[in-house]
Amino acid sequence: MADLTDLGALALSRRIERGETSAEDVMAATLDRIAALNPALTAIVSLRDRDTLMAEARAAGAAPRRSWLHGLPLAVKDLQAVAGIRSTWGSPLFADFVPATDDMLPRRLRAAGAILIGKTNVPEFGLGSHSRNPVFGTTANPYDTARTAGGSSGGAAAALAARLLPVADGSDMMGSLRNPAAYCNVYGMRPSYGLVPQDPLGDTFLHQLSTDGPMARNVEDMAALLETLSQPDPRLPHRIQPEPFTQALDTDPRGLRIGWLGDWGGAYRMEPGILDLCETAQQTFTEMGCEVTPLPPPFPAEKLWHSWTTLRSWAVAARLGIHHADPARRALLKPEAIWEIERGLSLSAMEAHRASVIRSDWFATAAGLFETFDALILPSAQLWPFDKTLDWPHAIGDRAMDSYHRWMEVVVPVSLIGLPAISVPAGFGAEGLPMGMQLIGPRGGDRALLRLAQAWHRATDWPGRRPPAL
């Protein structure tokens, strides 16, 4: 049964539906693989009792089929409250918290028939693209367990790459679906902001930087999970109408125009080999009949960074300021969280307004680019997977990083204005470590972007060609 874990979610679903295997068989194979490999990875956390999960799998097998996810074992990113499962946000403040109710994302997964087996590891409160926290420790990269799996969806990406899960959810504020996907040789999609709803709690108008999204080892599974997660909620503004993302996924990409943004004219320092790998990978688009054009920087990088850091700190302070206000709770926050909160608390309303004006200017500029190009490309990360014992990379080459997240700056152009982006595997570097590229589309262009990613997957299939040697 071990070969069941090599299959993607839709392939497993079809086998269960045809009676070729059972939810019980899939659960047993999944839990066996987690037991064998997860101790070296710390990808899955808060794993539930095996006997209980096996009983739930048997019950699923006897129940009416709810959807393509029926009977499949899934673990939810540990930034979501999941009823009955320890939900920590990677923070000592919530180390023993077991919610009584589900957040919207796990609620939708359960309604679709998925069996929630536990959580996937994250950095504390999702801050930083390195999944380490004082509750569970650090998630290791399946391609080199001395390296990081990235973050904040690092546990999800590592679990996918190691075949501990068939498909996974994640979230992305500053590359948290894209960076770990690149580091673990899987796909991660940040949808257009507003496509995947969250519970309408607190302010739902101002803070538009973070969104949930899907991760997978193939594009079809990713599209299917996006369909499940993206049904609109009328209580939320900024809604985007979902589409049948899995239908007609295979299309001919010939004639598509793609703009290559490289290192943004040198503004985004890259470790050696990353740009070369991505430029070599682009030959595949040319072979597919696409036209790839190198582009100069379309907007000043420092303006983007100023706008981003202002709006991000404002959002983080709004979310976590309640913990900072209590000295006892503040003492349990990591230094980067305290820095981010205090920076946000110091901002004036007009500073936030001016940052949003820059954001608005960039959105208009990007919209103009998409009048010429069907998609844009950037690397998914600026460094190769790094030593997992680091707190965060303090330099790229001879350029010092002036904050805990400056090394992730290449993801900012997308996050700042809520564009859809898919990190696709781009291959491997000289040390055998994976890297990815961001495929970027116009707001609302998620379906077209999935079709481009599917053509890429058909031509390359890096996850299938080169799984980790665990």
The SS3 of residue 153 is: coil
Give the HSE-up count for residue 198: Cα atoms under 13 Å, Cβ half-sphere. 20
Q: Which residue among 91, 171, 176, 380 is the active-site one?
A: 176
Given 77, 119, 334, 388, the catalytic residue: 77
Select which of 46, 87, 91, 152 is catalytic: 152
Residue 168's DSSP bridge partners are 215
303: annotated active-site residue: no
Instruction: Tell me, yes or no, if 388 is annotated catalytic.
Output: no
Q: Which of 329, 281, 196 is CA-nearest to residue 457?
A: 281
Q: For tokens 């997957």, what's the residue?
A: 457
CA torsion through residues 308, 134, 386, 172, sign:
negative
How far, in Å, CA of 365 to CA of 237, rounded? 24
Distance separating alpha carbons of residues 129 and 161, to the nearest angstrom: 17
User: Is 192 in the active site?
Assistant: no
Q: Between 301-324 and 349-369, two packed helices, what is the crossing angle to 10 degrees?
A: 140
Instruction: Please state whether beta strands 44-45 and 187-190 pair in parallel, antiparallel, or not at all (unpaired).
Output: unpaired
Cα(217)–Cα(166) distance, integer angstroms: 8
In the structure encoding, which two tokens stand for residue 381, read together?
Answer: 């990360």
Helix (H, G, I), strand (E, B) or coil at 99: coil
Catalytic residue list:
77, 152, 176
